[in-house]
C-alpha cells in the first residue's frame, strides 16, 4: 500500500511589503490580505496540519499550489524555508497555483527557489514553466504535475494549461498507463466546466477531452479551499476529481477548519483501490482527527464511508 498526503493552499503569512512592490496587481491583493484573508488563513492551523502529516509518515506528499499570496520576493524566500522544514524534495511534490504567479516575476527569484520540489525524476531543479508536466514515479504510482498558474489582470483568478502542456500530459498519461501505473494528476484549478468565470480553468473542456482519450486514476486539486469531489469521463469509466480544503483555514472561517487528505492506494486485481481519509484540524490546533472516508476504484465504483 502506498500512502499519499494531499494538501493545498497553505497561503503562508504575508510579510511586510515596500511601497514600490505594490505598484501593480499586488496592491489590491495586499490590502485584501490585511483586511480580510489574514483572518481566514492562520499559521496555527497550518502548523497543526503539518504536525499531523509528519506524525503519520506518508510515503509521499502532494502540495497543489498557492504557497504564497501576492508573489512578493520575500514570500518565496519564506516559503522555500517552510518547505525545507517540512521535508526533502524527493518526498514532496509541489505544483504552482495562481497566487504563486500573481504577477510576473523572475523565475530564479520566485518559483525557482522551490525548483527541486517541482522537478521530475532525475531532472535538475525546475528552471521554468516549460518543465510541466512533470513526472515522478513512486512504488507503482505516477505523479503527474501540471501548471495552471498564469499572471492575470486584477480580480481574476483563472488558470490556463495551454494546448502544448495538455498534449505533453496526454503522452505521459498514455505511457504510464501502458506501464500499468496508478496515474495521479496534480493540478491547482479544478478541471471542471461549472466553475465561477472569475476563478475557472479556461481550457477545462480541452483537458477533459484529453482525459476521455487516455484516462487516469484520480485528479487532485486545490483552489476552492474546500474538500469536494466531482467526476469526469474517462475511457474506462468515471475519473474522480478530488479537491481539498485550505491547509491553513481558520476553524471559524467560511471554508470551515483546515483539512488534508490521506490517500491509501493499492492494487485491486487489475484495477486500483483508493481510500481517501479526510483529516480535519482539532479544536486546539495540535493535530487532526478523522473527518470521513471516501473509497473508490478505478472505473466507476464509488462509495462514501461515514
The answer to whether residue 285 scores a pLDDT higher than 70 is yes
Q: How large is the average pLDDT for residues 208-228?
A: 97
- Reading the block at residue 48, the C-alpha cell is 497543526
Model confidence pLDDT, tens digit, residues 59-70: 999 999 999 999
Instruction: Take residue 28 and report the three cell numbers written for it.
Output: 489590491
Average per-residue pLDDT for the chain: 95
Could you tell me the pLDDT band of residue 297, with boundaries at 50, 70 and 90? confident
Give the residue ranges of DSSP H helices in 43-181. Answer: 43-56, 73-86, 115-118, 163-178
- Domain 2-305, what architecture? 4-Layer Sandwich (3.60)
* Residue 108 cell numbers, joined: 530564479
> In the predicted model, is pLDDT for residue 291 greater than 70?
yes
- Grid cell digits, residue 300: 466507476
Cβ neighbours of residue 184 closer than 8 Å, sequence gap 6 or more: 4, 62, 141, 142, 143, 144, 216, 217, 218, 219, 220, 265
pLDDT of 304 higher than 90: no
What the block records as the C-alpha cell of 41 is 488563513
C-alpha to C-alpha distance for 111 and 89, rounded to whole angstroms = 14
In the chain, the percentage of residues whose pLDDT exceeds 70 is: 97
User: Of 95, 102, 86, 88, which is closest to residue 153 (Cα–Cα)?
Assistant: 102
> Model-level pTM?
0.96
* Range list of β-strands (E), 131-270: 134-138, 141-145, 182-186, 218-221, 228-234, 237-243, 259-268
Would you kindly state where each structural domain of the chain is located, as residue ranges?
2-305
| pLDDT value at 269 more than 80 | yes
pLDDT digits (tens, 9 = 90+) for 114-162: 999 999 999 999 999 999 999 999 999 999 999 999 999 998 999 999 9
Give pLDDT tens digits for 229-240: 999 999 988 999
Amino acid at each position: 500500500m502506498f500512502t499519499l498526503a494531499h494538501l493545498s493552499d497553505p497561503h503562508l503569512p504575508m510579510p511586510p511589503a515596500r511601497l514600490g512592490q505594490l505598484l501593480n496587481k499586488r496592491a489590491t491583493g495586499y490590502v485584501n490580505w490585511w483586511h480580510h484573508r489574514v483572518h481566514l488563513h492562520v499559521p496555527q492551523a497550518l502548523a497543526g496540519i503539518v504536525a499531523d502529516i509528519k506524525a503519520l509518515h506518508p510515503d509521499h506528499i502532494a502540495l497543489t499550489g498557492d504557497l504564497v499570496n501576492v508573489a512578493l520576493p520575500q514570500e518565496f524566500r519564506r516559503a522555500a524555508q517552510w518547505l525545507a522544514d517540512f521535508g526533502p524534495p524527493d518526498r514532496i511534490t509541489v505544483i504552482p497555483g495562481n497566487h504563486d504567479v500573481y504577477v510576473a516575476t523572475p523565475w530564479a527569484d520566485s518559483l525557482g527557489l522551490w525548483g527541486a520540489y517541482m522537478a521530475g525524476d532525475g531532472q535538475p531543479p525546475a528552471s521554468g514553466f516549460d518543465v510541466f508536466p512533470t513526472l515522478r514515479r513512486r512504488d507503482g504510482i505516477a505523479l503527474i504535475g501540471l501548471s495552471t498558474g498564469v499572471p492575470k489582470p486584477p480580480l481574476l483568478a483563472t488558470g490556463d494549461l495551454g494546448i502544448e502542456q495538455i498534449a505533453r500530459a496526454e503522452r505521459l498519461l498514455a505511457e504510464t498507463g501502458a506501464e500499468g501505473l496508478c496515474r495521479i494528476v496534480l493540478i491547482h484549478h479544478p478541471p471542471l466546466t461549472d466553475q465561477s468565470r472569475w476563478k475557472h480553468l479556461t481550457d477545462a473542456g480541452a483537458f477533459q477531452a484529453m482525459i476521455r482519450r487516455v484516462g487516469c486514476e484520480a485528479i487532485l486539486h486545490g483552489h476552492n479551499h474546500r474538500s469536494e469531489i466531482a467526476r469526469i469521463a474517462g475511457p474506462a469509466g468515471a475519473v474522480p476529481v478530488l479537491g481539498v480544503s485550505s491547509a491553513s483555514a481558520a476553524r471559524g472561517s467560511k471554508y470551515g477548519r483546515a483539512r488534508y487528505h490521506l490517500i491509501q492506494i493499492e492494487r485491486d486485481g487489475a484495477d486500483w483501490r483508493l481510500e481517501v481519509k479526510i483529516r480535519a484540524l482539532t479544536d486546539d490546533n495540535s493535530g487532526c482527527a478523522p473527518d470521513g472516508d471516501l473509497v473508490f476504484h478505478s472505473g466507476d465504483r464509488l462509495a462514501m464511508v461515514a
